[in-house]
Chains A and B, each alone.
Chain A
């Protein structure tokens, strides 16, 4: 009976917690476990355990993704430059990230003599924690979301506004002029590109009327004329372009990598870091790459939705939608890596001109046009 419901019924859950409870119920484990905790009078402990399991799965997923991305970046660069890239450890060099990790753990953790020890140690953690926190309201698939916040998009923008502080602290605490210059550049760039980023995201919110990421994805579920998916990229092509450029600039990847431009600043704000602290900056960078691409996919490319997904049996939808989400995200990630290999770095005055004189007015115009067309009832 239950299995029939699983395959035919409508089993969409608000978050992964409900999905786990449903699966535990399905294999008949939830009631006995819950009764044990009930007799002890600590029912909330079970809830906390389930949430902790979710978080553990998320962190493991994030770390595996980061490891895979470091390998992928090297392979893509090698492909463009007609090399092989890492080939020795594991099949086609797939275990290279593990070797890198072992090497970095084994390295000496150097703190410069005149550095501010306390801030120097704190900064990598403040960089790394927001990079993981952004994953919380991301819809990885149908029902696969840790928490569907009412203000999900605002949460994402707010959390990503925290990381410039850590960059400034890292640059300042190293007591090195290259670090400080890199940090100041990074923060100036971050601040000026957050504005077009947020403005083009607001145009999406005008369409959906909700800041929740789940609502944004479900607004893109469906098709026009039976075959064109209802993704916001078709309604907001300019917004998509602005959002993509602004997020690549926020990540500090190559056309806009002033924070660590090697020819001028050694390595920017993490020049003085070594060992595990350096690894944390490195990991945060790739976590940021993944989360930003996932946000682009959620806002403009329909998230996990795909035409004719509703024809599948309901029990398969979470898994298949997770796969679709990953494929879309990796397309965006590949685009960012491809851009890194083909485009030279712009000058810093060009960067600021592009941000303040072109992208912000365009984003405002886009917002105005969207609001006007929506009020006029065109969409």
Chain B
């Protein structure tokens, strides 16, 4: 049972990691990066490291992704030319 959950979570994490470098728009990459971080937090929960998992969500998803999105949105859109 736990193996299936592990496989699903790691598949989704790897998929979104690949999509980070595959997508054309920077904002989409940032969203996929958030997916990667959430997947990693899921792996931490499977390892029974709850504290680490929620700190991962708080720091990476809550702060780092917001910062990345802020910088992308406040700079000029170069990718659409």
Contacts and interface: CB of A to CB of B under 8 A. Distances in A.
A202 to B, nearest CB: 13
Given A151-B51, A154-B51, A154-B55, A161 B69 contact: no
A158 B63 CA distance: 10
Contact of B58 (A118, A154, A168, A173): A154
A161 B57 contact: yes
Interface in A157-187: 157-159, 161-162, 164-165, 168-169, 172-173, 180, 184, 187
Contacts of A158: 54-55, 57-58, 61-62
Contact of B54 (A44, A116, A118, A154): A154
Interface in B45-66: 50-51, 54-55, 57-58, 61-63, 65-66
A144 to B, nearest CB: 22
The B interface is mostly helix, strand or loop, or mixed, namely helix
A187 B74 CA distance: 13
Contacts of B61: 158, 161-162, 165
Contacts of A118: 28
A191 B27 contact: no
14 contacts: A122-B31, A151-B50, A151-B51, A151-B54, A154-B58, A157-B58, A158-B55, A161-B61, A161-B62, A162-B57, A162-B61, A164-B66, A168-B70, A169-B27
Contact of A116 (B27, B34, B51): B27
A161 B58 contact: yes
Counting chain A residues whose Cβ lies within 8 A of the other chain, the interface size class is: 20 to 34
B57 A184 contact: no
A173 B74 CA distance: 14
Contacts, number: 61
A331 B24 CA distance: 49
A149 interface: yes
A149 B50 CA distance: 9
A119 interface: yes
Contact of B62 (A116, A149, A164, A184): A164
Nearest to A118: B28
A187 B62 contact: no
A119 B54 contact: no
A162 B62 contact: yes
Contacts of A159: 57
Contact of B25 (A44, A116, A149, A151): A116
B21 interface: no
A351 B54 CA distance: 29
A44 B58 contact: no
Given A158-B62, A161-B57, A165-B34, A187 B70 contact: yes
